[in-house]
Structure 1
Amino acid sequence: MSMQSPRPSPSAINKARAQHQQATKGSWNKGRWMLLLLALVCAAPVIASYLMYYVFKPTGGTTSYGALIEPQRPIPGELMVTDEKGQPMPLTSLRGKWLMITVNGSDCNEQCATRLYFMRQVRVLQSAERERVVNVWLRTDDKPVSEVIRTAYPQPDTRMLVADQRAVAQWLPTSADTRLTDHIFLVDPNGNLMMRFPKDPDPAKIKGDLAKLLKWSRIG
């Protein structure tokens, strides 16, 4: 004569169901905390670089030579430029590197040539970190660039891109007494405009700002 297993009571069933739900909830909460922790670890370099510039400032002054841009001004998604081969491309395609940007006509007057020289020297002086930096000349017309300038500032270290001046002016801010063509701008690897350096800048101080950012942030 076969014996049947005793049927569990309703209370036992409810208890088992509650234990299963509690275990499932615990696993779900643990998974969410792990995802949050992973996101914080990935964002830490960006957060650190901004905290060091925007929050932790020594008494009596700021930590930077360049003017900090607040609020953030990301590269406009619709800002299109023309590359060295005459092909259109979004400026956002340069995200992933630190960008030093200058704006000028293709004739590149003395002031323009000086800024390009400063940008090249600042980049070179970052030593092993220089590969994280790209210099960008946004040309406000499509006239030919002199061979001397092209030879002195080759790709990919310096990009010479044609852009609409009005579109660029809507993105890059000037001060009350300067023009767009007076400045060097710094954009972080996330595509956010971070700094504007003054007219007739001191390249040694630009180098110092950039060196600190490259040290504090491992992005780009």
Structure 2
Amino acid sequence: MQSQRSAANAQQRPTKKGSWVSGRWMLVLLALVCAAPVIASYLMYYVIKPAGGTSSYGTLIEPQRPIPAQLAVTDEKGQSLPFKSLEGKWLMIMVNGSDCDEQCATRLYFMRQVRVLQNGERDRVVNVWLRTDGKPVADVIKNAYPQPDTRMLVADEKAIAAWLPVDGGTKLTDHIFLVDPNGNLMMRFPKNPDPKKINADVAKLLKWSRIG
């Protein structure tokens, strides 16, 4: 009788090996759940493409173009720093001389409005004006687009052009570009863009991705 009870108890107790295997699978499952938002964002924009084109307004940049390690910029205080130091946020980038014309001012305004429309997610986005010269920026522009929401950095135009591709028949100064928090150039918006459509792309990316 005692031996039968001991055998029944042994059958009810899980083995150490079974417990270890179960625990390992739980850790794997937990890791997949945590990584799911990041995986989903890249699948949505780099893999899943509906028939007839992509679901995005901006042009997806393929293959990826990471921020060049040698690309240096001068910040608002005159200090030199690697542009890669801005990684970790979504970067909306425009390129123009410091003498900001009407087209330049319009793009700055569009970028600011798109960022504002992200509401609680806006701090994940930084707007960047890569200036191709070291001339002073007009006070009215600096006051309208303060740091840290908008960065006004000076960079070598040739170095920028080697990294940022343009549409045929357009110039570097015609576009707004989007860089992901991993430092990869992800999207280029067309000349004379529709800010509502830019906003839709950015909002979708922030929704699907938890990085940045």
TM-score of Structure 1 vs Structure 2, range by shorter chain? 0.7 to 0.9
Give the TM-score normalised by structure 2: 0.85
Q: Is 2:78 aligned against 1:79?
A: no
Q: Distance in 2 between matches of 1:43 and 1:91?
A: 27
Q: What SS class does the counterpart of residue 72 from structure 1 fall into?
A: strand
Provide closer, same or farther for how the CA distance between residues 57 and 106 of structure 1 changes in structure 2, counting only shifts above 3 A.
same
Q: Is 2:195 aligned against 1:206?
A: no
Name whichever of 37-46 and 51-60 sits farther off.
37-46
Tell me the CA shift for residue 74 of structure 1. Answer: 0.5
Q: Give the equivalent residue in structure 2 for 1:144.
A: 136
Provide closer, same or farther for how the CA distance between residues 41 and 163 of structure 1 changes in structure 2, counting only shifts above 3 A.
farther
Size of the alignment, in residue pairs? 198
Q: What SS class does the counterpart of residue 88 from structure 2 fall into?
A: coil
Q: What SS class does the counterpart of residue 201 from structure 1 fall into?
A: coil
Give the TM-score normalised by structure 1: 0.82
Provide closer, same or farther for how the CA distance between residues 116 and 41 of structure 1 changes in structure 2, counting only shifts above 3 A.
same
Tell me the CA shift for residue 56 of structure 1. Answer: 2.1
Q: Give the equivalent residue in structure 2 for 1:190.
A: 182
Gaps of 5+ in 2: 1-17
Tell me the CA shift for residue 151 of structure 1. Answer: 0.4
Q: Distance in 1 between matches of 2:27 and 2:93?
A: 36
Name whichever of 191-200 and 47-56 sits farther off.
47-56
Matches within 5 A, 1:31-180: 43-180=35-172
Q: 1:217 aligns with which of 202, 206, 209?
A: 209
1:145-184 deviations in whole A, cap 9, x for unaligned?
0000000000000000000000111100011111110000
Q: Give the equivalent residue in structure 1 for 2:11.
A: none
**What residue identity is the alignment partner of 2:157?**
Q
Q: Distance in 2 between matches of 1:70 and 1:158?
A: 27
Q: Distance in 2 between matches of 1:31 and 1:90?
A: 43
Tell me the CA shift for residue 59 of structure 1. Answer: 3.4
**What residue identity is the alignment partner of 1:58?**
P
Structure with the greater alpha carbon radius of gyration: 1
Q: Distance in 1 between matches of 2:72 and 2:32?
A: 32
Q: Distance in 2 between matches of 1:196 and 1:69?
A: 7
